[in-house]
């Protein structure tokens, strides 16, 4: 997919996150475009188009938010859940530049709601949980918000407003074609009390600096986000070229990462009673376990 694209040498195309900041506006951001990595994640299951769009958006959001963490070995998990809906579980996570994701859905219910379903049609009454597992301190913190709005991106904006008190703008676009799926996103945030890490007081959406930055960022077009001929640097330049200073920093290369191992599943299975383990074994004496993320089947000997 990425071969032969006219991206200027040294600039960023697929499967990287570009971090940027606008110091005099107290703003920071991330932009990402997923291509081959996204296709690899999607290839684990034969998802219909509406579910492909949903998971693609979720993976973009996971990459954008995951790279906000200072320690790359920390983990960000995004989970959307509902009961009795078309989609009852969506889960993605990011750690050390690795992305994975999975959607569990009801094909019969999906077939009854049309080709371009809304977030409400897919989930009904559900919730979005965003969890940060911090590697250095071992701390875990989580925010939960209702699955409301027109998209997962809007629900994530609500999370930052309610749980973090950080004004945030997020835009995500996806394009499916015969050559593969492209999904891209832009996240911009405001820290009105200065540098990241300081206590944030009096966070207001009507702060003039934030209004200026969010207006510029909100002018991004969806076709620009998924245009493979535009580098991520060019996107940031188009939005903020009149600013006094914009700093950019390329993040680690992204990959599809699945952490399913025999050791992990063996540890899980040893918690089951012996009679249940006996029922799980196949004629060879091992227990086949399929990873929901990558569809790999591992034969576990316990």
**Is 293 inside any structural domain?**
yes
* pLDDT tens figures, 221-277: 999 999 999 999 999 999 999 999 999 999 889 999 887 778 878 888 888 888 888
**Is 3 inside any structural domain?**
no
* pLDDT tens figures, 83-133: 999 999 999 999 999 999 999 999 999 999 988 899 999 999 999 999 999
CATH number assigned to the domain comprising residue 80: 3.55.30.10
**Is 204 inside any structural domain?**
yes
CB 265, CB 106: distance < 8 Å: no
Percent of the chain residues past pLDDT 70, beyond the cut: 93
- Chain centre to alpha carbon of residue 252: 15
Residue 195 has pLDDT above 80, yes or no: no
Residue 278 has pLDDT above 80, yes or no: yes
pLDDT at 203: 53
| Number of domains the chain is built from | 2
CB 100, CB 257: distance < 8 Å: yes
Residue 190 has pLDDT above 80, yes or no: yes
**Is 106 inside any structural domain?**
yes
Are residue 201 and residue 114 in the same domain, yes or no? Answer: yes
- What confidence category does residue 10 fall into, taking pLDDT thresholds of 50, 70 and 90? confident
pLDDT at 258: 84
Are residue 145 and residue 202 in the same domain, yes or no? Answer: yes
Are residue 240 and residue 268 in the same domain, yes or no? Answer: no
Are residue 249 and residue 295 in the same domain, yes or no? Answer: no
Are residue 222 and residue 285 in the same domain, yes or no? Answer: no
Are residue 83 and residue 209 in the same domain, yes or no? Answer: yes
- What confidence category does residue 66 fall into, taking pLDDT thresholds of 50, 70 and 90? very high
**Is 8 inside any structural domain?**
no
Residues of the domain holding 211: 16-256
Q: Give the burial class of 46: count Cβ atoms within 10 A of its Cβ; 0-12 exposed, 13-18 middle, 19 or more buried.
A: exposed
pLDDT at 199: 46
* pLDDT tens figures, 196-216: 444 444 456 678 999 999 999
Q: Cα–Cα distance between 220 and 193 in angstroms, integer?
A: 26
Residue that is written with structure tokens 């640097």 in the block:
233
Are residue 164 and residue 211 in the same domain, yes or no? Answer: yes
**Is 7 inside any structural domain?**
no
Are residue 196 and residue 248 in the same domain, yes or no? Answer: yes
CB 55, CB 42: distance < 8 Å: yes
Q: What is the mean pLDDT of the chain?
A: 90
Are residue 24 and residue 125 in the same domain, yes or no? Answer: yes
* pLDDT tens figures, 140-160: 999 999 998 899 999 999 999
pLDDT at 57: 98
**Is 112 inside any structural domain?**
yes
Residue 50 has pLDDT above 50, yes or no: yes
Residue 282 has pLDDT above 90, yes or no: no
**Is 177 inside any structural domain?**
yes
Are residue 96 and residue 50 in the same domain, yes or no? Answer: yes
Residue 5 has pLDDT above 70, yes or no: no
Are residue 202 and residue 289 in the same domain, yes or no? Answer: no
Q: What is the mean pLDDT of residues 181-187?
A: 97
Q: Which of 226, 241, 256 is the last residue of a domain?
A: 256
pLDDT at 7: 76
Percent of the chain residues past pLDDT 90, beyond the cut: 67
Query: Token pair of 47, please?
Result: 């998802």
Are residue 179 and residue 205 in the same domain, yes or no? Answer: yes
């Amino acid at each position: 997919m990425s071969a032969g694209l006219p991206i200027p040498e040294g600039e960023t195309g697929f499967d990287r996150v570009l971090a940027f900041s606008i110091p005099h506006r107290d703003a920071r951001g991330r932009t990402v475009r997923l291509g081959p990595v996204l296709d690899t994640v999607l290839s684990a299951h034969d998802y219909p188009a509406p579910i492909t769009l949903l998971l693609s958006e979720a993976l973009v959001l996971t990459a954008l938010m995951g790279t906000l963490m200072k320690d790359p070995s920390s983990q960000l998990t995004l989970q959307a859940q509902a009961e009795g809906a078309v989609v009852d579980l969506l889960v993605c996570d990011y750690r050390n530049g690795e992305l994975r994701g999975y959607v569990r859905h009801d094909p019969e219910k999906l077939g009854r709601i049309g080709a371009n379903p809304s977030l409400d049609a897919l989930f009904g009454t559900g919730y979005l949980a965003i969890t940060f597992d911090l590697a250095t301190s071992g701390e875990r913190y989580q925010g939960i918000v209702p699955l409301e709005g027109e998209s997962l991106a809007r629900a994530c904006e609500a999370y930052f407003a309610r749980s973090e008190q950080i004004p945030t703008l997020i835009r995500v676009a996806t394009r499916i074609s015969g050559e593969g799926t492209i999904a891209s996103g832009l996240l911009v945030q405001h820290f009105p009390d200065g540098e990241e890490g300081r206590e944030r007081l009096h966070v207001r959406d009507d702060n003039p600096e934030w209004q200026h930055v969010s207006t510029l960022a909100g002018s991004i077009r969806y076709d620009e986000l998924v245009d493979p001929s535009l580098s991520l640097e060019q996107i940031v330049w188009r939005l903020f070229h009149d600013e006094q200073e914009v700093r950019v920093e390329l993040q680690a290369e992204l990959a599809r990462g699945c952490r399913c191992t025999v050791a992990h599943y063996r540890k899980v299975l040893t918690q089951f009673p012996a009679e249940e383990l006996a029922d799980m074994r196949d004629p060879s004496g091992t227990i086949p376990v399929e990873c929901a993320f990558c569809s790999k089947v591992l034969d576990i000997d316990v």
